[in-house]
Amino acid sequence: MLGDANVVSVPRTGCVVGVFDLFHVGHIDVLERARRQCDRLVVAVLSDEWALDAWGARPFVPLPERAQILEHLRCVDEVISVDEVVPPGEVATASEMAGTSEIVAVGDVLPEWLTGVHTVFAASAMDGVLSVAELDRMPPALLTILPAGRTSRSPILRAAIDQRQSRSSVA
């Protein structure tokens, strides 16, 4: 991209990480708000295996279908599937990150899906999108918290989400 002084600037890439099971208006709200804060939005969809480990159950909607739904949203530039958020011991701590605006890794080990990401968006009180607590291994300087937005008013959907959340802190 060219700026006012003909200086080439790098597009700011943001990433939202989540399962996106039982897709609803709250997911769209989070994704649209994240996209407004970056030039390019990547959605990292967590695998069925990740959900099984975190929740003790697979998502209602299989990964290929969840990814396909996200790929058709105008606010999403790319959809990737990931099996883990951040492997243990691989990403630098906040003190090691001082003065940088990009993710760097201890010993040059970086999960491939984080390459080029400038901001990782954490959702506040949104089922299916990871929060700061679930992204605790990310360098804090990279996290942008999106405040709570809309949620589904469907009683059937809410009941399914609430049932799953009663089994786990992540939904």
pLDDT for residue 90 is more than 70 = no
**Do residues 164 and 142 lie in contact, with contact meaning Cβ atoms separated by under 8 Å?**
no
Q: Tell me, what's the pLDDT at 121?
A: 93
Q: Please state, rounded to an integer, the average pLDDT across all residues of the chain.
A: 79
What is the model's pTM? Answer: 0.77
pLDDT for position 147: 84
Q: What is the end-to-end Cα distance of the chain in Å, rounded?
A: 37
pLDDT for residue 164: 66
Residue 100 DSSP label: -
The Cα–Cα gap between 70 and 46 comes to 12
Maximal C-alpha separation, the chain:
55
Where would I find the H helices in the chain?
25-35, 48-55, 63-71, 155-167
Q: Does 55 have pLDDT greater than 70?
A: yes
| Alpha-carbon gap, residue 12 to 131, rounded angstroms | 21
Residue 163 pLDDT greater than 90, yes or no: no
pLDDT of 77 > 80? The answer is yes
Q: Which domains does the chain have, with CATH numbers?
A: 13-167 (3.40.50.620)
Q: What is the pLDDT of residue 110?
A: 54
CA–CA dist 149, 26 (Å, integer): 7
What pLDDT, on the 0 to 100 scale, is given for residue 84?
Answer: 82
- Asked whether the predicted pLDDT for residue 162 surpasses 80, the reply is no
Burial label, 171 (beta-carbon count in 10 A; 0-12, 13-18, 19+): buried
pLDDT in tens, 128-137: 788 888 888 7
Quick: pLDDT tens for 110-145: 577 888 899 999 987 777 788 888 888 787 888 899
Residues near 83 by Cβ (< 8 Å), separated by ≥ 6?
46, 47, 49, 50
Summarize the confidence of residues 84-93 as an average pLDDT.
58
Alpha-carbon Rg for the chain, nearest whole angstrom, is 16
Among 7-11, 59-63, 80-84, the range scoring the smallest mean pLDDT is 7-11
Query: In 10 A of CB 122, how many CB atoms?
Result: 25
- In the predicted structure, residue 4 carries a pLDDT above the cut 70: no
DSSP E strand boundaries for 53-105: 78-82
